[in-house]
Amino acid sequence: MMTLPHWESPPDDLGAAIREVKTALRARIASSGRTVDEVFTVVEGRIDAAVEQVEAAKARGEEVWPVIRYDDIAAGTVSSEQFDLVRRRGCLVVRGHFEREQALGWDRDIVRYVEGNRFFENYRGPGDDFFGSVGSKPEIYPIYWSPAQMQARQSERMAAVQAFLNSQWKHESGGTTWFDPQRDSLYPDRIRRRPEGADSGGLGTHLDPGTLDLWLTSAYQKAFRHLFDGSVEQYDPWDPAYRTAGPQYPGSTMCSAFRTFQGWTALSDMDHDQGVLHTVPIPEAMAYLMLRPLLSDVPDDDMCGVTVNQVFPANEKWHPLLMRALTGIPDVKAGDSVWWHADMIHSVAPVTNQRGWGNVMYIPAAPWCPRNERYAAEVREAFRTGSSPSDFPEEHYERDWADRFQPADLNETGRHGLGLS
């Protein structure tokens, strides 16, 4: 099979590279004996059926998001029906992941930590334009090393849930072990505290796994090989092959780590209509998103609006079928956690005059693999110096905060996650 043109760093002329790769991808698909339109019709049929299932579940008044009790994950008593639903929907709520009092205590600890270190007096404004801010106080705190966050990241309960989530993916295929589902890499991320009464515009529908690199780099061309060689029926959104070693284009939106699931842990109660997370709960939708730009109604130098340095947009213009399935989380309580397949479309609904707080710690599932091992070296350095991790804006608020989490407080899981043992 002919090799595809590829760019291991962002091409200077994006339009020219897009034109070139589209021509090559269309030719490769055509060499399977089916046209791009025929292959896309197969994908569309499958996604259409999944969208109709979601719509039918809503019409019946059922919860679209699977809700699984932490106690069932810990005891290994998750039913096969629940497993099936997680695989089908690609998202879940873990009910009672942490004791409510533990989560509320962490929320208070974070407030003490940032106030005690005069964070609000020193706050210089958002380091990136991803999220707006509320009044003079930020909504997203660029704080990474509070004792509360690290205690959650290295907790036995977090490790158990991450192992459960990582295991939804096929960690071995074609004779290669792509990652270790039992060991997570403790990916440090920020916190969000959105106060009572807040107005927030939310975040539009987008996805996080990459941008043009998903079509243009050799590793992703291999990862999405079944979409690009006409064997689309074999595409498996739970197969991590070729995704756990390769590079990603640099930029303010990059995530250096391979994540099986994105996630956050609730530190306050949040009702379903208070500006919460939504997803398009269909992991296979990635096939639609990757093939849609190859159809003839999209300009030759355009990937349905995907470009470098901005999140991958999903929208009514190019993906109206997918948008029909957008579904919010149910009510969550402090201590519950929320997870979604790392390739899935998600958004945050707008809210005005929010009832109650909306507080979360972002903690994903990012299993140990060559890519995450490489990033762990950056994380260790950021941890040692109290710096912002290299995937995030260089804000470094915590460098001289004496009460940040200390190396002596690491347990076995924490040391493993950072690659220290």
- Minimum CB separation of residue 346 from Fe ion in Å reads 6
**Closer to Fe ion by Cβ: residue 11 or 127:** 127
- Minimum CB separation of residue 194 from Fe ion in Å reads 16
- Minimum CB separation of residue 328 from Fe ion in Å reads 15
- How far is 310 from 305, CA to CA, in rounded Å? 10
- Minimum CB separation of residue 252 from Fe ion in Å reads 13
> Residue count at the site for Fe ion (CB under 5 A)?
1
- The one-character DSSP state at 390 is T
**Closer to Fe ion by Cβ: residue 343 or 395:** 343
Q: Which stretch binds Fe ion (CB under 5 A): 164-172, 205-213, 267-275, 349-357?
A: 205-213
**Closer to Fe ion by Cβ: residue 189 or 208:** 208
- How far is 292 from 44, CA to CA, in rounded Å? 10
- Minimum CB separation of residue 208 from Fe ion in Å reads 4
Q: Which stretch binds Fe ion (CB under 5 A): 161-169, 201-209, 265-273, 409-417?
A: 201-209
Strand partners, 359: 193
- Minimum CB separation of residue 312 from Fe ion in Å reads 9
The answer to whether residues 138 and 190 touch, using CB atoms and an 8 Å cutoff, is no
> b/e per residue, 125-155, with b = 16+ CB within 10 A?
ebbeeebeebeeebbbbbbbbbbbbbbbbbb
The answer to whether residues 351 and 195 touch, using CB atoms and an 8 Å cutoff, is no
Q: Which stretch binds Fe ion (CB under 5 A): 109-117, 204-212, 245-253, 377-385?
A: 204-212
- How far is 384 from 123, CA to CA, in rounded Å? 22
- Minimum CB separation of residue 283 from Fe ion in Å reads 15
Nearest C-alpha neighbor of 274 from the set 342, 350, 208: 350
* Number of neighbouring beta carbons within 10 Å of residue 124: 9
Report which secondary-structure segment, H or E, holds 223.
helix 218-223
Using CB under 5 A as the binding rule, whether residue 336 contacts Fe ion is answered as no
Nearest C-alpha neighbor of 168 from the set 342, 328, 290: 342
What tokens appear for 279 in the block? 């997803």
Q: Which stretch binds Fe ion (CB under 5 A): 200-208, 280-288, 371-379, 388-396?
A: 200-208
Nearest position to Fe ion, beta carbon? 208
Distances (CA, A) of 319 to 211, 238, 371: 16, 22, 31
Nearest C-alpha neighbor of 268 from the set 330, 336, 200: 336
Using CB under 5 A as the binding rule, whether residue 208 contacts Fe ion is answered as yes
- How far is 316 from 334, CA to CA, in rounded Å? 33
Site for Fe ion in 112-171 (CB under 5 A): none
- Minimum CB separation of residue 395 from Fe ion in Å reads 19
**Closer to Fe ion by Cβ: residue 205 or 244:** 205
- Minimum CB separation of residue 207 from Fe ion in Å reads 7
- Minimum CB separation of residue 44 from Fe ion in Å reads 25
**Closer to Fe ion by Cβ: residue 208 or 343:** 208
**Closer to Fe ion by Cβ: residue 21 or 348:** 348
- The one-character DSSP state at 135 is T
What pairing do the DSSP bridges indicate for beta strands 327-328 and 277-279?
A: antiparallel
**Closer to Fe ion by Cβ: residue 281 or 414:** 281
**Closer to Fe ion by Cβ: residue 20 or 208:** 208
**Closer to Fe ion by Cβ: residue 208 or 284:** 208
**Closer to Fe ion by Cβ: residue 25 or 140:** 140
- Minimum CB separation of residue 253 from Fe ion in Å reads 9
Q: Scanning the structure block, which residue is given the tokens 């490769």?
A: 28
DSSP state string for 104-168 = HHHHHHHHHHHHHTTHHHH----SSSSS--BTTB-SEE-----HHHHHHHT-HHHHHHHHHHHTT
Q: Which stretch binds Fe ion (CB under 5 A): 7-15, 163-171, 208-216, 271-279?
A: 208-216
Burial class (CB in 10 A: 0-12, 13-18, 19+), 265: buried
**Closer to Fe ion by Cβ: residue 218 or 310:** 310
The answer to whether residues 148 and 193 touch, using CB atoms and an 8 Å cutoff, is no
What tokens appear for 152 in the block? 């959650």
Q: Give residues in contact with Fe ion (CB under 5 A).
A: 208
